[in-house]
Chain A
Amino acid sequence: MARVIKGRVRVASAAAAVSSLAVLLAACGGSSSGGSGASSSSGTGGGSSAKSLSFLAINENTTIPTTLTSLSQKECAAENKAQPLQIKKQAQGTLDQQLQLLAGQKALPQLFISANSPDLTKQLFDSGAILDTGEAATSAGVSDDVLPAASSSIKALYDGKQIVLPTELNIEGIWYNKKLLADKGISVPTTWDELTAAFAKLKAAGVQPISNAGKGGDGWGITRWVGNYILRDQGADALKAVKDGSAKLTDAKYVADAQAIADLGKKGYFGKSPTSIDYATALNTFMTGKAGFIYMGSWALAAFNDPKQNAIGADNIGFMSFPTVSGGSGTADQTPANVGTALAVSKTAYDKDPATQAWVKCIIANYGTVALRDSSQITGFKVASGVTVPPLSQDIQTKISNIKDSVLWFEAYFPTKATTSSQNNGGLLGSGKLSGEQFMKTVSADLG
């Protein structure tokens, strides 16, 4: 009898162990229907040819996914057949975190929007995670399709390497509502004093003078004003001097320049509550005629040329350079230029996958034409002849081609922590709740 019981105990033990393992495995396995079938094929860590071309986009930029989708259907249809385009989206504010996590897991998609912070893109390149697209374009025989202006902008930012694809080529400046200014008897300002006088006039007339976002990370819309004011006041090398260590953001001159923008905030020129406004709302405020001015890059041309979004009409929008500051050593022809939201390519995916190489070659050869044709977007790629360009885009294209002296934006040389700190506090500066000194102290503390 004892032997029988012992046997039963063994059977029961074995059954219990098998059951518990089965439950455990079932729990770990998850639902077979819930996962994305594509995700397993899109990672690049394995090194073998991927079944799809995975592209990590950001919610805030619709032009790049639209252009790539258009390419997949027409110019790059053959490449798309071999490796279908698969687009995933991510909020721009959390893009850097996502890229770091994916890079850490060696699971970066083949194509992705480059990090918000150039410093992070550099780190990814130095670790071998992303491709030198300049070298790749030369090897593929399509290097002539990247405009020299775009290539040099990228190289200025990334220590002489062209490590991203210029899906944008932008100049930045102040856009204004022509009709609104004319109605209020304001001529286009050329100096800071004239500009602030225009703000005062608009405010007195019950019109919001400037529309720029200050909600969370969208505060870059306001910190651009700080950077440009510094460059106009102290000259084109003023921000490079901070990078090189020969100047500090907390130096009296830099603090006074930031205070000039805080003063605009105190007077309510950035609107009722810039800390409540995100990028899309700021752009919409301007395009619905509720604000006189907006500081923005030429990437906004896609929205300005879209009658569905732009209620005031593209003909009603003018562009002016950031004006000169009285007694300042900077000039208005020193134009902030950048390649904006750029594309990066996973080195692992590219090196080991001919299908990805074919896709990247096709993008370089055709992106400029398709983006201009479908979205009126000026890019850093060559454009085939015969593409009709709206007048506003044509005007900006001419301005871009005439640039002799370009400058970078406020956070261009900052590490990620200081970039985040600057952009998160931009809204408070624009609402006048943070003084120039407090702002510069906060950002300076995170410069490391």
Chain B
Amino acid sequence: MLTAIEIEKITHELQQVPVKKAACIEALKIVQQQRRWISDESVEDIAAMLEMSTAEVDSVATFYNLIFRQPVGRHIILLCDSISCYVMGFTALRQQLQNLLHINYGQTTTDERFTLLPNACLGTCDHAPALMIDEDLYRDVKAEDLEKILEKYS
């Protein structure tokens, strides 16, 4: 069931758009912000509120890289794997993250602290390699910096 806060925020979005469907992505963002991910139940709830079919909402939810249809950790690590970061050695960062966290791409640590995801270009190619944790961008990252960086997130 959607919470009162979610309903209020989605209602606000509905007032900004000419057709209800147009608020679909915003509604997904709102629910994900509250619950970290989009469950089947959330898909159904959003569909009911926006007068869409669940299949239609799911087709949108599964299309976008940053809408999560599986549970994720408290912190999302997005490692840029695009071309400038490739040239500047993002693979060393991936290796080190895997060593430190014992997880692969797409997985979450057992304590639910981190989820590790590859990410297409973060748009900071002059400071490659780069990664983002939640809203924090780290640039010119070296593998040996990672342990210290991760310590900031509980």
Indicate, yes or no, whether A interacts with B.
no
